[in-house]
Structure 1
């Protein structure tokens, strides 16, 4: 069959048109497929990004569905495992935060551990213990003893925290607090003094009765000095605390006072700054100290000091749960 030149051109034109149409269809279908594939991949990634924002904001309840067995599914699975570990870590933080100072818990969980190594540091140590605890415990029901101690310790804890200190430990009827650790505080002696005076005022407000007709009273003692800070104990159980003669002196100075009194060495009083009075109780022999130690009872004198003490006590009682009613045997 012979084609004329015109027919040949028409055949070529038709063929080119078909090829162009087919190419356009292929390109269109490819575009649709790419758009669909991109959407299918981007939606899980968008969900991952949104979930990551929620986790960063502290929401550890996030759990994404794992669909398929591709790379995105693997990433989603690993993300869910990560969130699970973070939730567990946060739960441990909250549990330990009830037994340890939250600042120390943060160092354990968030730090690299170097801050928990042994070091030497100047601090002010505060001790407070109940006057006549033995007779009180012997004439009071056990559950009431615990309830009373927890009431006072709860108020003390909030006052100590208010002035930048932290409760190092509870020892029976006594509480030990440290200022200038772990948080730096150049005025640690001053803040410890205000905390102790605020604790004395809090005891006066609580007015918890004793079975013998008296009132529950605590005495406080302060001492400023160098201590060793670090993990103390066995590998199976460590306690991050402070040790040293300065701690021992604070405990023994505390025992010199009567209910409601805050006793300090003269050298510690001189570190407190203006606004306090020092009523000498004479030179006292303290175990671990070679020379007699001038000691005295401190009082708040300046108006600004009294105002800060009152504010701390008011804040502590504002957060307080109702106190136990009576301690009858």
Structure 2
């Protein structure tokens, strides 16, 4: 049985030291930034336009995700059908990558828009390449809550190092699986 001491954990909502690694009783915990991005309305789009159009949308969105992950030095951890999970050691490059991915994809005419969620926190590194924890779950739930074209994050994720991104308050929201309502922000390109 693995026990993690509660006193050694940090919040999954944006505080702590980026990239920090700790081992507690055989469990490796790392702080990472997680982003989930997917094609909003993909099922309806596929039903209306067919498989060939769906494949073209996937090829384009995956191409953007690969390109900006490479530019910002973040990793595509998993492809999830019409979406992806990206992971970064530091919040700023992960956030900037998501903003560029969603912004560029959403400028395309006659294509479904992307949406995303992002969160930072300590997670368990499982079997060397998987991440388990609240930050992963929160980023996924925020992506689910986002409307087409939106990127949602906990309001606490703000950083003075964000160069191209601003946080716009989005109010307090109940997030499925999270006990306490959270202050959420929309991430937008700085103009």
Q: Is it true that 1:206 corresponds to 2:108 in the alignment?
A: yes
Cα 1:121/1:285, change in 2 over 3 Å: same
CA shift for structure 1 position 267: 1.5
SS in 2 for 1:255: helix
Partner of 1:297: 186
Aligned-partner SS, 2:49 = coil
Aligned position for 1:191: 93
C-alpha change, 1:272 and 1:244, in structure 2 (3 Å) is farther
Distance 1:177 1:274, change over 3 A: closer
Counterparts of 1:219-238 in structure 2, within 5 Å, are 219-231=115-127
Partners in 1 of 2:46 and 2:166 — Cα distance?
34
From the superposition, tell whether residues 192 and 122 of structure 1 become closer, same or farther in structure 2 (CA, over 3 Å).
same
Q: Deviations over 1:83-121 (max 9, x none)?
A: xxxxxxxxxxxxxxxxxxxxxxxxxxxxxxxxxx96210
Contact kept? 1:120, 1:226, Cα under 8 Å: yes
SS for the counterpart of 1:160 is helix
Give yes or no for the alignment of 1:132 onto 2:41: yes
TM-score by length of 1: 0.47
Question: 1:242, 1:272 → 2: CA distance?
Answer: 27
Q: What is the CA–CA distance in structure 1 between the aligned matches of 2:160 and 2:78, rounded to whole Å? A: 24
Report the Cα distance in structure 1 between the residues aligned to 2:87 and 2:67, rounded to whole angstroms. Answer: 14
Is residue 273 of structure 1 aligned with residue 165 of structure 2? no
1:256 paired with 2:158, answer: no
1:144/1:123 CA distance change after superposition, 3 Å: same
1:272, CA displacement in angstroms? 5.7
2:96 and 2:162 in contact (8 A); partners too: no
Q: Which has the higher strand share?
A: 2
CA change 1:151–1:160 in 2 (3 A) is same
Q: Please give the residue correspondences for 1:49-60 in structure 2 after superposition, counting only pairs within 5 Å.
A: none
Whether the aligned pair in 2 keeps the contact of 1:166 and 1:178 (CA below 8 Å) is yes
Query: How many residues in Structure 1 have an aligned counterpart in Structure 2?
Result: 165
Measured at CA, do residues 247 and 218 of structure 1 come closer, stay the same or move farther in structure 2, by a change above 3 Å? Answer: same
The verdict on how the C-alpha distance between 1:143 and 1:274 changes in structure 2, with shifts beyond 3 A counting, is closer
1:152-163 mapped onto 2 (5 Å cutoff): 152-163=61-72
Q: Structure 1 regions of 5+ residues with no counterpart?
A: 1-116, 181-187, 210-214, 233-239, 307-329
Q: What TM-score does the superposition give when structure 2 sets the normalisation length?
A: 0.78
CA distance in 2 between partners of 1:151 and 1:120 (Å):
34
Aligned to 2:10: none
If asked which structure has higher relative contact order (CA below 8 Å, sep 6+), I would say 2
- Cα distance in 1, alignment partners of residues 86 and 105 from structure 2: 17
**SS of corresponding position for 1:139:** helix
Aligned in 2, Cα 1:230/1:286: closer, same or farther, shift over 3 Å? same
Query: Greater CA deviation, 223-232 or 164-173?
Result: 223-232
Question: Which protein is bigger by CA-based radius of gyration?
Answer: 1
Structure 2: stretches of 5+ with no match in the other structure: 1-25
Contact 2:46 2:53 in 1 (8 A): no
Kindly indicate whether the alpha-carbon contact (under 8 Å) linking 1:190 and 1:272 is maintained by their aligned counterparts in 2. Answer: no
